Chains A and B, each alone.
Chain A
Amino acid sequence: MAVSVSSSQPKSLELVCPAGNLPSLKTAVDHGADSVYIGFRDDTNARHFPGLNFDAKTATQGVQYAHAKGRRVFVALNTFPQPAGWERWQRAVDQAAELGVDAIIAADISVLDYASRQHPKLPLHLSVQGSATNYEAIRFYHEHFGIRRVVLPRVLSLPQVKHVLENSPVGIEVFGFGGLCIMVEGRCLLSSYVTGESPNMCGVCSPARAVRWEETPRGLETRLGGLLIDRYAPGEPAGYPTLCKGRFEVADQTYYAIEEPTSLNTLELLPELYEMGIAAIKIEGRQRSPAYVTQVTQVWRAAIDACRRNPAAYAPKPEWLRELGKVSEGHQTTLGAYHRTWQ
């Protein structure tokens, strides 16, 4: 069921949805995303997974589809080029400009510098991978590259987000839902420490090629780069072995020493985010299926519309939470760092 989006609504709380392929992009647009973000089919973006992302043809179709319905498309070029690969990033920036996308989401200084000089009319957003957790850092990127928006790392509490927003020269986008990075994005090398590939260098975290699932007499074991990430008792639901979400031993205790397998869900914070003037809410999950995109977009469209109509009366509906719970990692959700006690 498609939901209509009124363009007369204020631009705050723009809903930014993930699209790992053309079907996801279309369903996001059909179900009420104000914007979708995509990546090209190589290591220029932080979801460089096999079978995912857009080539020249699907990107063109995607931009046409979204623009025909008055929605925007952002391209994530948010990894850090090393000298050997620079031409790929340069080409990706040029390609995004030729496609007529509405913004590039970038993190690396050389990419931002190139894009701002070569394509001065193409809006730039600072990616979460740019690790800007404070307004002085945001001002840096604004002064040098004219960024129009910043995506905040998932490490700030709600009052800290507000303080950044009040002092920021550009609009603030925050993560609302999806897989939860608990480290400052752009500054986490755990994946390359174990597998040789990291988000910064290769656009992947805990890459599938380094994963092994093994049935053993001790239970189902998941490994990453040979290291045991978790072991499941019979009947216990098993999750993808993301490095920071395993059960490990610290001083003779075995527990989720870094983070539980859980998803971020800020549905209940919407009125606060709205009142403080957050520009956009980002949904994580370009690697997820079109069914995920459909479900999550539908719920968030309804929630944002309800919040805008009457923030004081807003409360997340049980069926929204149920729907989001179904597509959450480990079927659990958390407020993450927004809620101080999580820290």
Chain B
Amino acid sequence: MIEYQPKLALGPVLYYWPKEKLLDFYERMSAAPVDIVYLGETVCSKRRAFNIEEWLELAERLTAAGKEVVLSTMALLEAESELKTLRRLCENGRFTVEANDMGAVRLLSEQKAAFVLGTGINVYSSRTLRFLAGLGAKRWVMPVELSRMTLAAIQAERPDNVETEVFVYGRLPLAYSARCFTARHHNLPKDDCQYRCLNDPEGLTLSTREGQAFLAINGIQTQSAQTCNLLAELAELRELKVDVLRISPQAERTETVIETFAACLRGESDPLEVARALNAKLPYGACDGYWQGQPGLRQVVEVV
């Protein structure tokens, strides 16, 4: 029996990195063993390392390097200028788009374009997935708080021709707000934020007064301080016929993470063993709680 072989995807960069760092990062990624690359700003429209033309140029370069490119859209859309950017992305006519808001789903279904449902779209059941597949969704990324049990139930009734993607590595996106917590930290109003998040390549860590780190502030987004790592679950991800594994870019060692996942997929490494090695280097530890149906911050499987 041939084992189910998922593809590897690189999620959009969730942080604000300077243009040079982004260019260098994607230059390296074009040679990394990922099949799919999601590109674009999904957190804050004030972040403008690249304009749309530059994102599209990058998309062409990565396509030429053999990657499947998907353009990701914003999770929180408030201003008309943000809708304008969204329309341009949805009407790009060349690349698949990842919707992270129902406004994007509407525009993409109007275009009759096949699209991806990102983590910002609440698909909690196969009924919802079937409805959205009817509008053109060809892939969905499972909401990060769902468990393997729920995924198994959805997979059992998954509509034909819809791929399933799971967020398997990175700090988890947990919440979005109108308020910019980075600007708040620096006592600055959001409208004069001075782009302080440029100084935090992986966000600002938030801890309890007992020094227990559990969240990370990334502008208007709140993430987990712990890094989700489901590499040790590779056998089950395959059993559940997950088509795509998403690695979310972190400031350091993203290539190592990708290569480690790729080696495990090729059968050259033991997932449990190398997951242990990856987790040993994490500043605030790993977590797999959501996958196990428990509080998200827990690490249930012993890999440390």
Binding site for B on A (CB under 8 A): 80-84, 86, 107-110, 113-114, 130-137, 139-141, 143, 154-157, 160, 163, 182-184, 186-190, 192-196, 198, 200-201, 225, 227-229, 231, 246-251, 253-254, 257-259, 337, 340-343
Return 27 A-B CB contacts under 8 Å, by A number.
A81-B124, A81-B127, A82-B124, A83-B125, A108-B128, A109-B127, A109-B132, A131-B101, A133-B77, A134-B77, A134-B101, A136-B102, A136-B103, A137-B102, A140-B102, A155-B78, A183-B175, A187-B76, A187-B176, A189-B144, A193-B215, A196-B289, A246-B208, A249-B206, A257-B217, A337-B178, A340-B191
Instruction: Determine the distance from Cα of A60 to Cα of B199 in the docked complex, in whole angstroms.
Output: 57
Distance in angstroms between the alpha carbons of A96 and B151 in the assembled complex: 29
| Interchain CB contact under 8 A, B209 and A247 | yes
Within 8 A of A (CB), among B118-164: 120, 122, 124-128, 131-132, 143-146, 149-150, 153-154, 157
Candidates A195, A246, A257, A342; contact of B181 at CB < 8 Å = A257
**Contact between A80 and B124, CB atoms less than 8 A apart:** yes
Contact of B21 with A by CB under 8 A: no
Contact between B79 and A182 (Cβ–Cβ < 8 Å)?
no
With a cutoff of 8 Å between Cβ atoms, the chain A residues found around residue B143 in the complex are 189, 200
Q: Which residues of chain B come closer than 8 Å to A86, judged between CB atoms?
A: 125, 127
Tell me if B254 is interfacial: C-beta within 8 Å of chain A: no
Q: Given known contacts A187-B175, A250-B217, what 16 new A-B pairs fall within 8 Å (CB)?
A: A80-B124, A81-B127, A83-B154, A133-B76, A133-B77, A133-B101, A136-B104, A136-B107, A183-B176, A188-B175, A194-B296, A201-B124, A250-B185, A253-B185, A337-B178, A340-B191
Give per-residue flags for B61-86: 1 if the beta carbon is below 8 A from chain A beta carbons, else 0: 00000000000000111111011001
B242 contacts chain A at the CB level, 8 A cutoff: no
Chain B residues positioned under 8 Å from A183 (CB to CB): 175-177, 222
* Number of A-B residue pairs having CB atoms within 8 Å of each other in the complex: 208
- In the docked arrangement, what's the CA distance between A86 and B157, Å? 13
- What chain A residues lie within 8 Å of B120 (beta carbons)? 187
- Residue ranges of B at the interface with A (Cβ–Cβ < 8 Å): 75-80, 82-83, 86, 101-107, 120, 122, 124-128, 131-132, 143-146, 149-150, 153-154, 157, 172, 174-181, 184-185, 189-191, 204-212, 214-215, 217, 222, 224, 289-290, 293-297
- In angstroms, Cα B109 to Cα A109, docked, is 15
- Which applies to chain A's interface (DSSP): helix, strand, loop or mixed? mixed
Chain B contacts for A196, CB-based, 8 A: 289, 293-296
A198-B145, A342-B179 known; A193 vs B77 contact (CB < 8 Å): no
A251–B184 CA distance with the chains assembled, in angstroms: 13
